[in-house]
C-alpha cells in the first residue's frame, strides 16, 4: 500500500448508481427497525427490501377506495 494517496480527483458516492432508487436519511424507532431486521433475516432478504415492500403494500391499501 502506498504511504500517500492522491484523492484530488475523487468523487463521493456510490460507484454504480441504483436506477429507480433514492438514498435518504430517516429515523426509525429501534424496536421497529429490529423487527424488520429479524423479518429480513428470516426471509433471506435485506431489511430495507422488507421495509420497502411494507410501505408499498400500505400505499396500495390506502389508495384503494
Predicted confidence (pLDDT) per residue in 10-31, tens digit:
888 766 777 888 888 999 999 9
Q: How many domains, the chain?
A: 1
- Residue 45, in any domain of the structure: yes
Chain CA centroid to CA 62, Å:
23
Chain CA centroid to CA 18, Å:
11
Name the grid cell of 52: 420497502
Q: What is the Cα–Cα distance from 37 to 46, expressed in whole angstroms?
A: 7
Phi, psi of 42 (to 5 degrees): -65, -35
Summarize the confidence of residues 28-38 as an average pLDDT.
Answer: 97
- What is the model's pLDDT at position 59? 93
pTM of the model: 0.66
35: containing domain: 30-63
- Residue 43, in any domain of the structure: yes
- What is the model's pLDDT at position 49? 94
- What is the model's pLDDT at position 14? 64
Amino acid at each position: 500500500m502506498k504511504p500517500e494517496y492522491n484523492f484530488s480527483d475523487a468523487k463521493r458516492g456510490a460507484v454504480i448508481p441504483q436506477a429507480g432508487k433514492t438514498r435518504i436519511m430517516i429515523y426509525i424507532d429501534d424496536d421497529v427497525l429490529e423487527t424488520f431486521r429479524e423479518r429480513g433475516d428470516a426471509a433471506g432478504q435485506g431489511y430495507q427490501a422488507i421495509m420497502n415492500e411494507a410501505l408499498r403494500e400500505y400505499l396500495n391499501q390506502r389508495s384503494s377506495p
